[in-house]
């Protein structure tokens, strides 16, 4: 625990680099107020160490006698702060020079530069939040859609932690009954209600199953998926990308092969963060540039979670269409027929043999784009969109530990069914508890914390 000493005072710039209206330098620790006394000159002449908690004060940041910036200083006293320590936030003008000079002044007067995520790490180590909630802070920062943000916010409020704590309580209650019988076998403790123990373990097992069922959707909302648009030249791939983006991102012309390289964007479809790629439709490259474009397109198709293969309603099915369909045999794919506003010449028999359904659109006229989005979302979720009241697990670490707990509880039930000694049942329950403890951070290693908080930005 020495590596995570809470005795020093840390500081960092907590806003992104670049020009902005406001930039924040944050201090946390026992010396935060004393250091603020040295560098902040309040208009009313008072010192930050005399300020009441949750108050805001106008003044200037100084380095010795030199005025660095006109600022607003906020004081949040422990234990009711983000880190449960004294926190001082200096709201400077958002220029990088002003922020760096303010930070330098803080560091020169006794602060240490914070490590990535160290403010949140202190919130965890000081017991304000558990580890699952700490990880949710990062998910909020990285959220790419409203749905991902809601999921992370629910976890930060303790939705998952509450579920895990309830599971722990149920296991501890069962463990207490069994261990009492093991420790006092000859006492008049009465026979163990085996049906009650079994029912209790089955109930916990069912709750774990329900939570894990939401893990796939949770991870999709958190991490998104990789979708590739493919099709022969001039089938309307770039038009479809523009239609999904609701903006002119790709150049669209009647000339086949206009797109000579892949174009990537992040879009939100039904709350799912999607990294969508418009690929070059060239199959027979004419030069080195097109050859590289084809290779890149093939790589994106191979790596994609979902492929959208586009067909032209105004043209007959050609050799290039059949080659692409063949390439997508082992991929999750959706067939889309574009240009339905034109006279149809496309024969759909071979398409319908390969794909369960076909979505008709006109990317140019924006016809049925919402229908395509619904079909994509339905395919991603396999037609099973759970209620928003469910607790979804979005973190792979959490999913792994929940699965471990589920396996161990199944082993405990098997031991009961085979009438093995209660010691075997208790051991499985104890190990299941440790798996749940890992989620909440009731036990942790330095390596685990390093791995989790290394993903945070400095200043959070």
What are the structural domains of the chain?
2-129 (3.30.1360.120), 136-214+392-441 (1.20.120.430), 228-380 (3.40.50.300)
Residue 387's pLDDT is what? 36
How much is the mean pLDDT over the chain? Answer: 86
Cα first-last separation, the chain: 21
**CA distances for 379 relative to 216, 272, 357, 376, 403, angstroms:** 13, 12, 11, 5, 25
Locate 243 and state its tokens.
């239609």
**Of 286, 268, 266, 285, nearest in space to 276 by CA:** 266
Residue 250's pLDDT is what? 45
Q: For the segment 115-140, what is each residue's pLDDT rounded down to a tens digit?
A: 999 999 999 999 999 999 999 999 99
DSSP letter, residue 120 = H
What phi and psi values does residue 344 have, to the nearest 5 degrees?
A: -80, 130
268 or 78, which is more confident: 78
Residue 294's pLDDT is what? 62
Residue 283's pLDDT is what? 54
Residue 291's pLDDT is what? 58
Residue 338's pLDDT is what? 94
pLDDT band at 388 (very low <50, low <70, confident <90, very high): very low
Q: For the segment 432-454, what is each residue's pLDDT rounded down to a tens digit?
A: 999 999 999 998 888 899 899 98
Omega before residue 212 within 30° of 0, cis: no
Residue % of the chain over a pLDDT of 90 = 53
Q: For the segment 140-150, what is each residue's pLDDT rounded down to a tens digit?
A: 998 888 888 88
Residue 179's pLDDT is what? 87
Would you say residue 391 has pLDDT above 70?
no
**Of 117, 69, 107, nearest in space to 90 by CA:** 69
Among 96-105, 196-205, 209-218, the least confident range: 209-218
Transcribe 328-365 into DSSP letters: TTTS-EEEEEE-TTSPP----HHHHHH-S-EEE-BTTT
The predicted model gives 81-98 an average pLDDT of 95
Residues pairing with 334 in the sheet: 308
Residues pairing with 20 in the sheet: none
241 or 282, which is more confident: 241
pLDDT band at 262 (very low <50, low <70, confident <90, very high): low
The predicted model gives 259-276 an average pLDDT of 77
Place of tokens 């979505």: 359
Given a contact cutoff of 8 angstroms between Cβ atoms, the answer to whether 293 and 278 are in contact is: no
Among 194-198, 200-204, 243-247, 288-292, the least confident range: 288-292
- Rounded CA-CA distance 425/69 in Å is 65
């Amino acid at each position: 625990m020495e590596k995570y000493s809470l005795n020093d005072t840390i500081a960092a710039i907590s806003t992104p680099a670049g020009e902005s209206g406001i930039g924040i330098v944050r201090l946390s620790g026992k010396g935060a107020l004393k250091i603020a006394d040295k560098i902040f000159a309040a208009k009313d002449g008072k010192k930050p160490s005399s300020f009441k908690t949750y108050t805001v004060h106008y003044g200037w940041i100084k380095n010795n006698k030199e005025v660095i910036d006109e600022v607003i200083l906020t004081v949040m006293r422990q234990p009711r702060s983000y880190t449960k320590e004294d926190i001082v936030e200096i709201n400077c003008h958002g220029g990088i020079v002003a922020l760096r000079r303010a930070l330098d002044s803080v560091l020169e007067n006794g602060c240490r530069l914070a490590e990535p995520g160290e403010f949140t790490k202190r919130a965890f180590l000081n017991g304000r939040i558990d580890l699952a909630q700490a990880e949710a802070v990062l998910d909020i920062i990285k959220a790419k859609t409203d749905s991902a943000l809601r999921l992370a916010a629910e976890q930060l409020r303790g939705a998952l932690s509450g579920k895990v704590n309830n599971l722990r309580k149920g296991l501890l209650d069962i463990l207490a009954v069994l261990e009492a019988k093991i420790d006092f076998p000859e006492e008049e403790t009465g026979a163990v209600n085996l049906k009650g123990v079994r029912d209790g373990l089955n109930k916990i097992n069912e709750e774990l199953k329900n939570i894990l069922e939401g893990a796939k959707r949770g991870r999709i909302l958190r991490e998104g998926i990789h979708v590739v648009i493919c099709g022969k030249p001039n089938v309307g791939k770039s038009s479809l990308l523009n239609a999904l983006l609701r903006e002119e991102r790709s150049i669209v012309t009647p000339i086949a092969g206009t797109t000579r390289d892949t174009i990537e964007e992040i879009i939100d479809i039904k709350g799912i963060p999607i990294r969508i790629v418009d690929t070059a439709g060239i199959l027979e490259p004419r030069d080195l540039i097109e050859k590289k474009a084809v290779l890149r397109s093939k790589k994106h198709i191979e790596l994609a979670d979902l492929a959208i293969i586009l067909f032209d309603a105004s043209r007959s099915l050609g050799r290039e269409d059949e080659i692409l369909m063949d390439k997508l045999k082992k991929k999750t794919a959706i067939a889309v027929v574009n240009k339905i506003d034109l006279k149809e010449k496309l024969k759909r028999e071979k398409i319908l043999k390969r794909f369960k359904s076909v979505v008709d659109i006109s990317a140019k006229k924006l016809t049925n784009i919402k229908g395509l989005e619904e079909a994509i979302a339905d395919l991603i979720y396999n037609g099973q969109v759970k209620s928003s009241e469910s607790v979804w697990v979005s973190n792979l670490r959490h999913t792994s530990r929940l699965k471990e707990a589920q396996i161990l509880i199944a082993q405990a039930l098997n031991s009961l069914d085979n009438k093995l000694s209660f010691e075997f049942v208790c051991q499985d329950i104890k190990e299941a508890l440790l798996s749940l403890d890992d989620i909440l951070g009731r036990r942790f290693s330095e390596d685990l914390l390093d791995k989790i908080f290394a993903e945070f930005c400095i200043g959070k």
